[in-house]
Amino acid sequence: MKTVNSYNFAGKRALVRVDFNVPLNERFEITDDTRIKATIPTITKILNDGGSVILMSHLGRPKDGPTDKYSLKHLVTPLSVVFGRPVKFADDCIGQSAIEQASALQGGEILLLENLRFYKEEEKGNVEFAEKLSKLGDVWVNDAFGTAHRAHASTAVVGQFFEDRVSGFVMQAEIENAQRILEHAERPFTAIMGGSKVSDKILLIEKLLDKVDNLIIGGGMTYTFTLAEGGKIGKSISEPDKVELAKELLKKAAEKGIKIYMPVDNLCADKFSNDANRQVVATGEIPDGWEGLDIGPESAKLFKTVIESSKTVLWNGPMGVFEFPNFANGTNAIADAVVTATEENGAFSLIGGGDSASAVNNAGYGDRVSYVSTGGGALLEYMEGKTLPGVAALM
């Protein structure tokens, strides 16, 4: 796989697939610019070489073509600030106007294309659409690891129209850090799995059972495991049809000598709201009409001890509904523990994208762990051993 470092972009127009699917508030202000900042090294390298950059991305899930809410025009000003130069904007991602604007670019200039998903052909992986995109650049750079698991026109199909296909620094770092976890983990190796569904994480958990020493389970999936052990979960989120699967996972872990840590207590609420009435109860003893929205304080202490004594830590998924401040303590405690393991114990820590990345970044810990992935689903699929179309297209 050719990387940005091994390519000279002088005089070249680089068509760069980035993942600028960033959260915007009602005033169209970016509330988390992690994905944008991650691309700075790649774009800077191209510009410093004397190349020009044509940025293409999606934003949100527009259903019926162009929509102001999902227009990438909202990113022009913040991008101009980030890159310290004016960013030009094309109000379409294909067509004659886009071609003319791309052709007119001088070395050191940046052009941002309109949202790729305003065309249904993008997500369908349409070859004709990909060919139209390819007319805009001389070299294709894929730096959008977060969408690499999708065989979309801009993330995979467009590669066939370029002789020069280059991996950006984000893509390269994501793969290298995932490989370090999978192939070169120093022990003890602890994986922390949170989130709401066992079904979302089943393949990764099974893969990790051959690699980890400790597996910590938190978040909504906890309650499916609690059902598997005969406990009461009130009206907590669960997957009753995955109870047998949970039992099987616990059995496999025991057979392999892996220590599984589940919450010993839960912080419960009488409704799904930050201002709900709250109580801490032992795991398996959640009363009817109540639901678990976070791990309890004893669970946080237990998990903290395990994490802080680890040399490799993989974290994917929050411990509770961390968007509600009153139910964020468990997730914040995990973030604290991962930082301590990294800074004081020299552990290698990989935060696995999505909600975990948001939790770490919101707590101001993004630069105090080893690596924060920009790709949730893509990282999961890569670590499950699947071939990612966006990576395969670079080969």
The residues annotated as belonging to the active site are 35, 197, 354, 377
Pairing of strands 291-295, 265-269: antiparallel
Q: How many Cβ atoms are within 10 Å of 158's Cβ, its own excluded?
A: 27
DSSP lists the bridge partners of residue 314 as: 191, 350
**Assigned token pair, 117:** 């998903």
Identify any residues that bridge with 260 across adjacent strands, giving them in sequence order. 215
Q: Torsion-angle region of residue 130: left (phi > 0), alpha (psi -120 to 50) or beta?
A: alpha
Report H helices in the chain. Answer: 34-38, 40-49, 76-83, 96-103, 120-124, 127-134, 169-183, 198-208, 222-228, 243-255, 297-308, 329-345, 354-362, 376-383, 389-392
Three-class SS of residue 312? strand
Q: Would you give the distance in Å from CA 282 to the centre of its chain?
A: 32
Closest alpha carbon to 225 in 208, 242, 206: 242
